[in-house]
Amino acid sequence: MKILIVSHSCTVKENQKKIEALAALKDAQITLLIPSEWKEPLREIRAEKTSDDNYRIITSKVFFKGHTCGFVYPPGLVRRLLKEKFDIIHLEEEPQSAVAFQFVLLNNQISKSKVVIFTWENIFAERRFPRSLMESYVLKSLDWLIAGNNDGRSVMGRKGYRGPADVIPLMGVDTEFFKSREENRLKESLGLAGSFVVGYIGRLVPEKGLTCLVDAVAGLRGAVKCLLVGRGPFKEEMLKRIREAGKTERFVFIDTVLHHEVPQYLNVMDCLVLPSLTTQVWKEQFGHVLIEAMSSGVPVVGSDSGAIPEVIGDAGLVVREGDTKGLMESIRKVMEDDGLRSGLSKKGRKRVLDNFSHEKIAERTVSIWKSMLK
In this predicted model, what pLDDT tens digit does every residue of 195-230 receive, in sequence order? 999 999 999 999 999 999 999 999 999 999 999 999
Average pLDDT of span 243-269: 95
Name the strand (E) or helix (H) holding 72. none
- pLDDT interval class at 71 (50, 70, 90): very high
Name the strand (E) or helix (H) holding 42. none
Strands (E), the chain: 2-6, 29-35, 37-40, 43-46, 56-60, 88-91, 114-119, 144-147, 165-167, 196-201, 224-229, 251-254, 271-274, 300-303, 317-319
Return the domain boundaries, the chain: 2-172+357-372, 184-355
User: Is the Cα dihedral 227, 232, 235, 238 positive or negative?
Assistant: negative
> Is 3.40.50.2000 the CATH classification of the domain at 2-172+357-372?
yes
Q: Is 198 helix (H, G, I), strand (E, B) or coil?
A: strand
Average pLDDT of span 5-27: 96
Domains 2-172+357-372 and 184-355 share a fold: yes
Which CATH code is given to the segment(s) 184-355?
Answer: 3.40.50.2000
- pLDDT interval class at 268 (50, 70, 90): very high
pTM of the full structure = 0.95
Average pLDDT of span 28-47: 93
